[in-house]
Amino acid sequence: MTVATTRRPRWVYGTGEEPDARFSLANERTFLAWVRTALALLAGGVALEALDLPVEPRLRMAAAVLLVALGTAAPLLAWLGWARAERAIRRGEPLPPPTGFAVLVAGVLLA
């Protein structure tokens, strides 16, 4: 059994050649940074609603829901970005443009 058949997801690891580990580890660190950002957004949304801040309640709730929604979407965006970059690294192609940045920036600004 080869490494490509035992590692998941196969649509990522089943393509191209095994890259230098430094590139895969850097890609993984980027993924983990996105996950930390997601946790911070979730915590911020929960804290915003849990604390009794002197803010219009409907606006506070809307901002909290938006932050929680962003915190929920960020890991999915991170995983898709990781997979796209890993496939490009394995194929020796240029890295794809980042995705999800605009969603996060717009959402945080709106909140």
Rg (CA), the chain: 18
Confidence (pLDDT) at 2: 54
Distance (Å, rounded) from C-alpha 9 to C-alpha 95? Answer: 19
Confidence (pLDDT) at 6: 77
Distance (Å, rounded) from C-alpha 47 to C-alpha 40? Answer: 10
Distance (Å, rounded) from C-alpha 33 to C-alpha 75? Answer: 10
Across the chain, what does the average pLDDT equal?
A: 89
pLDDT of 10 over the 70 cut? yes
Task: Provide the token pair at 54.
Answer: 């002197």
Distance (Å, rounded) from C-alpha 87 to C-alpha 93? Answer: 8
pLDDT of 37 over the 90 cut? yes
pLDDT in tens, 49-95: 898 888 899 999 999 999 999 999 999 999 999 999 999 999 999 99
Q: Which of 32, 9, 33 is nearest to 86 (CA)?
A: 9
Confidence (pLDDT) at 52: 81
Round to the nearest angstrom and report the end-to-end CA distance of the chain. 49
